[in-house]
């Protein structure tokens, strides 16, 4: 197995980013709850441990804590933000409320010799986000960085291999954050950099062969990045013994079903495309509430999938494109933790009989899944596919979903995606929403009373927050002109300039 760094989660919003940064540097990492038993941590034989940040006050009675035996494991420990405060509080130092909280990018000055910082310049720009601070370092520690508001922005005790920073080295705003983490991993933890995608692919294919033997595997293929990469990996690992079921619920974007068919043509798998669009559309007749739409679509999907599974002989194993954030979000116990429960972690139909579940991507982050997809030869349209909700266009049609309204949205959305791709503006996600607002317009000599269409384009790093993309007015004008000229049923186009929060990225 790889050398491993364990990241103990105290509820920090950047926990996944820490793990990704460590992996980018060639070291395998896993996120575990902060209250993980010490024996489990010891059994993992980590080369280092990192404490995340968190929203709590470390001196509160119910503050998140880990077993203090972690400090005696004999491996280096790095505390970040709350993690630094926990280290200080646990080892006899003092943590106090700030007179003035420190948020955003600030100037930090490194002070004296530091094994953690090495030969970095004394002046550093770092991201701070804290309302408490270390007012007295524990015995044996030296303060290695300060800001104008924080007398201990970093501290370390090299004799015990304990290091801590009040700022966040994992974010891009900390200019030299990556070199700092690299030094911790390679100079302090003794990492050799044995983690890479080529090795991961070979290991996972061997693991799949050992688990499945000579039996068949069934995969629900959605056309999304995760299930597509899972299908490509399995078709290489167990050629001829994978059946993929693609349920076309009628809510896909323009040409997506054809793109999926073309992407997997010639691969060693049995792809079955089920046209269930009439079944799904009938289930949504008269439904306008978005949550009810989701429930009905989910129910119909299970029915369609179970029937398709029976029709192909009920293979022995079920494969899923579960990825690591799904596992972390569904299983964490900290206050910040349960962002959403994922159907592919805990929501399978109870009466489906499989010998086991095959999840070859379970240990990967999304960027690693995309890299694996490129290695497996999947087309860019699939590997770089933007997030697309399971209910598809059904929740981008506000109000009742009909064939006519789906057609209008599908055609307009294709125009928006084509124009934004062609313009090469920076936007991480972009799509259309067909509102249920109709207004008076004029086309030629005729009065119209047609729909208003909204365009949404956002910039984001993690999809937990976003800001609207500042698209050029010439691009907005071109999209509006094309949509109103080419898509019958739309006479007005608006652009959504709301961030998240207060809005969400999707409208429903």
**Which has the closest alpha carbon to 387: 294, 496, 275, 253?**
253
Q: Is the peptide bond between 27 and the residue preceding it cis, with omega within 30 degrees of 0?
A: no
Catalytic center residues: 81, 168, 170
Contacts of 27 (CB under 8 A, 6+ apart): 2, 3, 4, 5, 47, 185, 189, 191, 193, 194, 195
Distance CA(143)–CA(171), nearest Å, equals 22
Structure-token pair, residue 240: 């001829």
Say how many C-beta atoms besides its own lie within 10 A of residue 123's C-beta: 9
Cα–Cα distance, 190 to 18 (Å, whole number): 18
Torsion angles phi and psi, residue 193, rounded to 5: 75, 50
CA distance 141 to 84: 12
Q: For the residues of 18-70, what is the DSSP string, one character each?
A: HHHHHHHTT-EEEEEETT--HHHHHHT--SEEEE---SS-TTSTT-----GGG
CA-nearest of 351, 361, 280 to 320 is: 361
What does the longest C-alpha to C-alpha distance in the chain come to?
84
Pairwise CA distance, residues 494 & 500, whole Å: 18
> Alpha-carbon distance 4 to 45, whole Å?
8
**Helical H runs in 425-464?**
none
Burial of 461 per CB tally in 10 Å (0-12, 13-18, 19+): exposed
- Residues 400 and 289: beta-carbon distance below 8 Å: no
Exposed (0-12), middle (13-18) or buried (19+): which is 344, by Cβ within 10 Å?
buried
Cis peptide before 192 (omega within 30 of 0): no
């Amino acid at each position: 197995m790889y050398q491993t760094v364990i990241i103990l989660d105290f509820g920090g919003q950047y926990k996944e980013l820490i793990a990704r940064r460590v992996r980018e540097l060639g070291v395998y990492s896993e996120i575990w709850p902060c209250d993980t038993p010490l024996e489990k941590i010891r059994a993992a034989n980590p080369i280092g441990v990192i404490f995340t940040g968190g929203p709590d006050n470390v001196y509160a009675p119910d503050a998140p804590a880990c077993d203090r035996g972690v400090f005696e494991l004999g491996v280096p420990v790095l505390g970040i933000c709350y993690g630094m405060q926990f280290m200080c509080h646990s080892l006899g130092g003092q943590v106090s409320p700030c007179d003035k909280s420190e948020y955003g990018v600030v100037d930090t000055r490194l002070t004296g010799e530091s094994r953690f910082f090495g030969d970095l310049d004394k002046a550093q720009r770092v991201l701070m986000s804290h309302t408490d601070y270390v007012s007295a370092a524990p015995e044996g520690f030296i303060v290695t960085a300060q800001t104008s508001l924080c007398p201990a922005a970093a501290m370390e005790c090299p004799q015990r291999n304990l290091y801590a920073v009040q700022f966040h080295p994992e974010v891009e705003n900390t200019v030299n954050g990556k070199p700092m983490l690299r030094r911790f991993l390679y100079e302090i933890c003794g990492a050799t950099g044995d983690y890479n995608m080529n090795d991961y692919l070979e290991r996972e294919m061997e693991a799949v062969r050992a688990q499945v033997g000579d039996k068949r595997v069934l995969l629900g293929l959605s056309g999304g990045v995760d299930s597509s990469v899972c299908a490509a990996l399995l078709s290489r690992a167990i050629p001829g013994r994978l059946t993929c079921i693609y349920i076309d619920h009628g809510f896909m974007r323009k040409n997506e079903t054809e793109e999926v068919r073309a992407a997997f043509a010639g691969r060693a798998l049995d792809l079955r495309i089920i046209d269930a669009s009439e079944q799904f559309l009938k289930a949504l007749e008269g439904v306008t509430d978005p949550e009810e739409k989701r429930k009905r679509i989910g129910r119909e999907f299970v029915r369609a999938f179970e029937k398709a599974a029976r029709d192909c002989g009920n293979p022995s194993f079920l494969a899923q494109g579960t990825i690591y954030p799904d596992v972390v979000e569904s299983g964490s116990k900290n206050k910040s933790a349960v962002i959403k429960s994922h159907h592919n972690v805990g929501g399978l139909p109870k009466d489906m009989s499989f010998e086991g579940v095959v999840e070859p991507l379970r240990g990967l982050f999304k960027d690693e899944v995309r890299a694996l997809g490129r290695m497996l030869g999947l087309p860019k349209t699939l590997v770089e596919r933007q997030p697309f909700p399971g209910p598809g266009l059904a929740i981008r049609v506000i109000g009742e979903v009909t064939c006519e309204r789906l057609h209008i949205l599908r055609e307009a959305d294709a125009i928006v995606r084509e124009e934004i791709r062609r313009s090469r503006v920076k936007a991480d996600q972009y799509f259309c929403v067909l509102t249920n607002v109709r207004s008076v317009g004029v086309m030629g000599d005729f009065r119209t009373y047609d729909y208003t269409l909204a365009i949404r384009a956002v910039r984001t790093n993690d999809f937990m927050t976003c800001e609207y993309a500042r698209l050029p007015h010439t691009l907005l004008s071109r999209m509006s002109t094309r949509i109103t000229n080419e898509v019958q049923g739309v006479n007005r186009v608006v652009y959504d300039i709301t961030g998240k929060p207060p809005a969400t990225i999707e409208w429903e």
